[in-house]
Amino acid sequence: MCSSYYDASGVMKDLNGEERMEFKKIIQGMAASSLRCIAFAHKQVAEIEEENVKEKKKLKEENLTLLALVGIKDPCRPGVQKAVEDCQYAGVNIKMITGDNVFTARAIATECGILQPGQDMDSGAVVEGEEFRTYTPEERMEKVEKICVMARSSPFDKLLMVKCLKQKGHVVAVTGDGTNDAPALKEADIGLSMGIQGTEVAKESSDVVILDDNFASVVTVLKWGRCVYTNIQKFIQFQLTVNVAALVINFVAAISAGEVPLTAVQLLWVNLIMDTLGALALATEKPTKELMKKPPVGRTEPLITNIMWRNLLAQAFYQVAVLLILQFKGESIFRVTEAVNDTLIFNTFVLCQVFNEFNARKLEKKNVFKGIHKNKLFLGIVGMTVVLQVLMVEFLKRFAGTERLNWEQWGACIAMAAVSWPIGWIVKCIPVPERPVFSYLKWKKRI
């Protein structure tokens, strides 16, 4: 827009090709140092009389005189680089989409750790919005995963990238604070808006509002999201183990003996342990650093993994085996009546769930007691379950349909239930394929 400029002594000179190239180099140098450049210019116009104010036209942005070039530093917030490293360590691929020019965008991305030194436009890691927009759909789908930085982008470019990544099967999260970010926030699987500087439109279009406007909070969101997902898996594993064992023992007993060892009240008590208390105990586990080491879960991954099937089938098989032995041989082994034997079955079954609750805390780790002292609620619920079970067996005979047990019988029940701990440790030494069983068989058949 400028046709002239002032030199250092204040003399106006024409802005020819050589000077123009010199100014462009200065701008690029500032941008390479992550400075945002602003040019100041002016133009002298004739005074307009008041009666002609209505007839005045917009000032044409041409033939301006350049006054100065200013580079403004917009430093990264403290903790951004560490947050980017944490996200990348967790397997999250971060992309920066900005309206800055390509030099500023590359410098800021390198400073944050999004772009590694040596990555440039030739490798496809840095593109401009106009270039990304002009790609064919095939080229866009091919290059979208390689892009780390998109400069000079428009809101449509951001939305287009989100759609492309979702078509590739990725789970996409988008951060934004402006009204123009609303389409991308709404299209993304997870939209994160800023609570302080974010507009109301952006907040309404997002799923999560970051109250402190800090990118480091994204790591907290990621950590807690994985924690909730893992806790759900723990509860499902625990619940399926109880269901399988209760279903098999009652079904086999009903077929063979014509009656079930577990009464309706006892099954309701087991259901209370399985649903309410079990959910409270396992769903209150706090996130750990180990969660960030696990790879992200894809949108096609099954909720019940091979590791969970291994754990729950092993525990359910052991519980069914013990309960069936008590069902058919318990009276002769302990030399007790049928009513006492049914109480032994019920008590052993409940205590097996209490011990297995510890196993469910860790899906893969062998040490199920690590960090257990930090979860006071878990210990409290387990303790309350044991106390209520003692009351059910010893003092609620008519209500629960139980008989009192002596110390030897209590010790036998506890010993049989405690075997689930070494079984859980041994089972976790058995490797399982990462690919889901049904997909794995289908894949083998196709090969």
pLDDT beyond 60 at 121: no
Domain annotation covers residue 340: yes
pLDDT beyond 70 at 119: no
Can you give the CATH number for the domain in which 391 is found?
A: 1.20.1110.10
Q: Which of 219, 242, 264 is the last residue of a domain?
A: 219
Domain annotation covers residue 50: no
Domain annotation covers residue 53: no
Domain annotation covers residue 319: yes
Domain identity same for 307 and 171: no
Domain identity same for 181 and 251: no
- How far, in whole angstroms, is CA 259 from its chain's centroid? 47
C-alpha span between 95 and 407 (Å, rounded)? 64
Domain annotation covers residue 32: yes
Domain annotation covers residue 301: yes
Domain identity same for 105 and 149: yes
H helix or E strand, kind and range, residue 272: helix 264-272
Domain identity same for 327 and 342: yes
Q: Which of 186, 219, 252 is the last residue of a domain?
A: 219
Q: What is the mean pLDDT of the chain?
A: 86
Domain annotation covers residue 417: yes
Q: Which domain holds residue 418?
A: 221-446
Of 342, 357, 378, which Cα lies nearest the Cα of 312?
A: 357
For residue 50, the model assigns a pLDDT of 55
For residue 280, the model assigns a pLDDT of 84
Domain identity same for 335 and 378: yes
Domain identity same for 296 and 280: yes
Q: Mean pLDDT throughout 91-104? A: 88
Q: What is the pTM of this model?
A: 0.77
Six-digit token string for 447: 């090969």
User: Which residue has 């769903």 as its token pair?
Assistant: 283
Domain annotation covers residue 433: yes
Domain identity same for 152 and 251: no
Domain identity same for 93 and 27: no
Domain identity same for 238 and 203: no
Domain identity same for 289 and 303: yes
Domain identity same for 180 and 291: no
Q: Which of 176, 202, 219 is the last residue of a domain?
A: 219
C-alpha span between 370 and 358 (Å, rounded)? 10
Q: Which residues contact 390 (CB under 8 A, 6 or more apart)?
A: none
| pLDDT confidence band for 17 (50 / 70 / 90) | confident
**Count of structural domains within the chain:** 3
